[in-house]
Structure 1
Amino acid sequence: MYDFHCHTTMSDGELLPTELLRRLSVLGYTEVAISDHADFSNVKALLSAQAAVKKSAELYGLCLYSGIEITHVPPEQIDELAGYAKVLGAEIVVVHGETVSEPVAPGTNMAALSSSYVDILAHPGLITEEEARLAARNNIFLEITARGGHNRTNGHVVSEARRAGASLVVESDAHGPDDLLSESVKYLVARGAGMSEEEARAVLSLSANEVRNI
């Protein structure tokens, strides 16, 4: 099991990184990333903090990938920040997409999907056919999310991804303990978004090496 989109007290989450790791371990996860909200002001501190808990993750049976979620950064700066994060050691770069529940700057989806440093576009909202095709071409995964508000367009994202041949991930965008997904609930999120049983099983069995844009 994987989840590459979780938040901690390092941004707006409720759990310390180590408590998040422990709870994910108990639920059966094996590959995770902490992807707290990042901009130029805090990206270095976030990645440094995650490096400090990698041993804790290992002791709980988890492979922890250092991650960030680039959030509300002007589209013109997304590629620069994503590249800088990779230089600092980020292994998974998520971009906060154009969800319908927040005032994300227009052009964010396109900027993220045009960057060779981005791995996942989170909750991309009413993604266009052109954007979905760009995601497929650049091997950037589109997120199906369990988070309230952001999940309103999950069905649309699945439909556009299927037509374009784009890849999908199913993630929690967890901010607190009640947001973490068991294996069965994660499957229901995938099926509820419109995936077939076969599609859901394939998406839920992904590994980090498949998702990382390396």
Structure 2
Amino acid sequence: MIDLHTHSTFSDGELIPAELIRRARHVGYEALAITDHADAANMEFILSHVPRMTALGHFWDITVFAGVELTHMPPGLIAEYTNKARELGAQLVVVHGETVVEPVARGTNLAAIEAGVDILAHPGLITDEEVALAVEKGVALEITTRGGHSYTNGHVATLARKHGARLVIDNDAHAPRDLVSREMRRAVALGAGLTADEFDRAEANSREIVQRLLQR
């Protein structure tokens, strides 16, 4: 299993990075990205710890990546801070999409896709045009196991199938209970309307992202 969207005490997660990594490995994850909520105020602080966070994986036999989830950022700043995050060493840039359970600014999904981020998290009622652009830009769309954000998984799955967009399955983990099993990941995916083959493809997409990150 691979999870490319998790949070530690560097933002609103309950676990320090070492415990998050250890618990993920214990559940069975083989690769993990720690992507704490970030904006202009805390991005440098989070990313100053990249070498320490990624080194921890060696001891637990799990591949660890460090990145950010740009969160509630004005759409006009997303491209600038996507580039800034990468300059500061972010291995993965996720954007907090237009979930229906939070007041995310309209235009966030489009700005993230145009910026070419790695993953657009819980993109809510994303449009046909945005999904088509995500295909063009190589941006993966997230099916999430997290309550609330998962309300629109079915919509995301339907449009991804229609346009051939890449999906990944993430936990958006903030606490130990959020690191779900493979069986639960599969259940959420099938509940969103994915077929068994599409679930396998989504998991393969995460592996492909990991391989790409390792080659950077």
Establish whether TM, by shorter chain, passes 0.5. Answer: yes
Report the structure, 1 or 2, having the larger helix content. 2
Structure 2 counterpart of 1:33: 33
Structure 1 counterpart of 2:68: 68
Q: Report whether the alignment pairs 1:153 with 2:159.
A: no
Q: 1:178 to 1:211 in 2, by over 3 A?
A: farther
Q: 1:93 to 1:134 in 2, by over 3 A?
A: same
Instruction: Work out the percentage of aligned pairs sharing the same amino acid.
Output: 48
Q: Cα deviations across residues 168-202 of structure 1 (Å, max 9, x unaligned)?
A: 00000011011111111111111111100111012
Structure 1 counterpart of 2:52: 52
Structure 2 counterpart of 1:87: 87
Q: How many residues align?
A: 212
Question: What one-letter code is carried by the residue in structure 2 that aligns with 1:51?
Answer: P
Structure 2 counterpart of 1:126: 125
Structure 1 counterpart of 2:185: 186
Q: Is the Cα contact below 8 Å between 1:127 and 1:157 reproduced in 2?
A: yes
Runs (4+) of structure 1 moved beyond 4 Å?
none
Could you tell me how far apart the structure 2 residues matched to 1:209 and 1:17 are?
A: 19
Alignment partner of 1:5: what SS? Answer: strand
Q: Report whether the alignment pairs 1:23 with 2:20.
A: no
Q: Is the Cα contact below 8 Å between 2:8 and 2:14 reproduced in 1?
A: yes
Alignment partner of 1:121: what SS? Answer: strand
- CA positional deviation for 1:209: 3.7
Q: Is the Cα contact below 8 Å between 2:50 and 2:89 reproduced in 1?
A: no
Q: 1:114 to 1:210 in 2, by over 3 A?
A: farther
Q: 1:20 to 1:67 in 2, by over 3 A?
A: same
Q: Is the Cα contact below 8 Å between 2:169 and 2:203 reproduced in 1?
A: yes
Alignment partner of 1:137: what SS? Answer: helix
TM-score, reference length from structure 2: 0.95
Q: Cα deviations across residues 101-141 of structure 1 (Å, max 9, x unaligned)?
A: 0000010000000013x100000000000000011110100
Question: What one-letter code is carried by the residue in structure 2 that aligns with 1:110?
Answer: L
Structure 1 counterpart of 2:166: 167
Question: What one-letter code is carried by the residue in structure 1 that aligns with 2:162?
Answer: R
Alignment partner of 1:132: what SS? Answer: helix
- CA positional deviation for 1:50: 3.3
Could you tell me how far apart the structure 2 residues matched to 1:164 and 1:147 are?
A: 24
Q: Is the Cα contact below 8 Å between 2:123 and 2:141 reproduced in 1?
A: yes
- CA positional deviation for 1:49: 2.1
Q: Is the Cα contact below 8 Å between 1:141 and 1:211 reproduced in 2?
A: no
Q: Is the Cα contact below 8 Å between 1:34 and 1:50 reproduced in 2?
A: no
Q: 1:79 to 1:173 in 2, by over 3 A?
A: same
Question: What one-letter code is carried by the residue in structure 2 that aligns with 1:100?
Answer: V
Q: 1:198 to 1:92 in 2, by over 3 A?
A: same
- CA positional deviation for 1:51: 2.1
Could you tell me how far apart the structure 2 residues matched to 1:211 and 1:183 are?
A: 23
User: Structure 2 unaligned runs (5+)?
Assistant: none
User: Structure 1 unaligned runs (5+)?
Assistant: none
Question: What one-letter code is carried by the residue in structure 2 that aligns with 1:197?
Answer: A
Alignment partner of 1:113: what SS? Answer: helix
Structure 1 counterpart of 2:106: 106
